[in-house]
Amino acid sequence: MASNSQFAISIHVLAMLAKNEDEMVKSEYLAKSVNTNAVVIRRLLCHLQQANLVISQKGASGGTRLAKSADEIRLNEIYQAVLPGESFALHRQKPDQKCPVGKNIEAVLCHLQKDIDRAIEEKLVKYSLADVLKSVETGEIISVCDG
Amino acid sequence: MASNSQFAISIHVLAMLAKNEDEMVKSEYLAKSVNTNAVVIRRLLCHLQQANLVISQKGASGGTRLAKSADEIRLNEIYQAVLPGESFALHRQKPDQKCPVGKNIEAVLCHLQKDIDRAIEEKLVKYSLADVLKSVETGEIISVCDG
DNA sequence: GCATTTGTAGCTTTAGTTGTTACAAACTTG
DNA sequence: CAAGTTTGTAACAACTAAAGCTACAAATGC
């Protein structure tokens, strides 16, 4: 797969912003830490902005900051912002509608996909961005804040 | 993404085999229902065979059948057989090791990835292939056998 | 006005999946 | 044992999605 690493990069970027909560951080700086191109970061930040996770500002002394504090951002919000419902892919070609299994399997798979997505959400909602930052800074295994 | 639909196709194929439990089913027949090439199916069946989910036989009157009954096959086994640990992708390029966040984020993400995979497994283990087949045949929403 | 930074378009590069052809190996049947 | 069938697999082409890159308009601050 030219697999989609946007969720991982998003967490990285947001952790950087959380660490510099009071500043407007520039995409160039974030790109350096992530080791990629600044445009890639800006594209990502657009999505995060649409999800109301960050606020960006153009112009000199512009940049990006979190839209709310790190302990108010849950990882499922990040997941939804960049990878909505991609736990697994469905059929690329439509199955044979003349086959009794082919005719109905899509609906079953679609339901199953939603079910798994729900499970992922339920897991991710437990972690906040603050938990991530804490884990990054202490080297401890990630765990929920009050746990 | 040239996204990976092997899990979906696997369930489709295994449901077909479950429906024809007493026969050796040919890859050509499965390919027709899935609407793809028989080699694609055979490649998939190799993986499923390695995971001890199916048994194939070469030669005239050869084909593939389930290695155990449909209610003994849990969906997490299928998932592990074809998509081990791909809930989300990690960084493509190594983050900047001189950045305190870049240096430690990979370990945190890796742990998180395993955590999510575990959540997916826990959801999938609840469903058997028999549940899938029942849902396909009745059109009812998939649910666990005794639930 | 000038410098800076985001937002975005458009294109190239990279990489993973799927589709296809071809053929050896294994097996069945007569 | 000969003929026919089917899997297993290699090799490659086609397709697709993500990521990288260049360029530039729009917004902003000094």
Query: In strand C, which positions have an atom below 7 A from any protein CB?
Result: 3-10, 14-22, 25-29
* pLDDT of A8 over the 80 cut: yes
pTM for the model: 0.93
B131 and B145 Cβ atoms separated by less than 8 Å: yes
Longest dimension (CA), chain A: 62
Over the stretch B27-45, which tens digit does the pLDDT of each residue have? 999 999 999 999 999 999 9
B119 touches chain A (CB under 8 A): yes
Residues 3-22 of chain A: which lie with beta carbon within 7 Å of strand D?
Answer: 3-6, 9
- pLDDT attached to residue A18: 98
Find out whether B11 and B75 touch, Cβ atoms under 8 Å: yes
Taking the Cβ of residue A13 and every Cβ of chain B, the question of whether any pair is shorter than 8 Å is answered with no
Q: What is the pLDDT of residue A147?
A: 52
**Structure confidence at residue B84 (pLDDT):** 74
Q: Would you say residue A37 has pLDDT above 70? A: yes
Q: Look at residues B21, B15, B83, B19 and name the one whose alpha carbon lies nearest to residue B47.
A: B83
Structure tokens at A37: 């191109």
Residue A38 has which token pair? 């600044």
Measured between beta carbons, which residues in chain A are less than 8 angstroms from residue B81? none
pLDDT at B85: 74
Mutate to test the interface with A, among B1, B4, B6, B12 (most CBs of A within 10 A): B12
Q: Which residue of B has its CA nearest to A29?
A: B99
> Taking a C-beta distance cutoff of 8 angstroms, is the pair B99, A136 a contact?
no
Q: Which residues contact A82 (CB under 8 A, 6 or more apart)?
A: A6, A7, A10, A44, A47, A48
CB of B67 within 8 Å of a chain A CB? The answer is no
pLDDT attached to residue B3: 83
Mean pLDDT of chain A: 94
Which positions on strand D lie below 7 Å from a protein C-beta? Answer: 3-11, 15-23, 26-30
Rounded CA-CA distance A42/A20 in Å is 17
Residue A1 scores a pLDDT above 60 = no
How many angstroms separate the CA atoms of B136 and A100, rounded?
8
pLDDT at A146 over 80: no
Say whether residue A89 is in contact with chain B using an 8 A CB cutoff.
yes
Residues of chain B with pLDDT under 70: 1-2, 146-147
Q: What is the mean pLDDT of residues A47-51?
A: 97
Yes or no: say if B85 and B118 are a contact pair by the CB < 8 Å rule.
Answer: no
Instruction: Using the structure block, give the residue that is written with the tokens 């952790």.
Output: A15
How much is the pLDDT for B146? 63
Q: Which site among B99, B124, B133 would you substitute to test the A interface, given the most A Cβ atoms closer than 10 Å to its Cβ?
A: B99
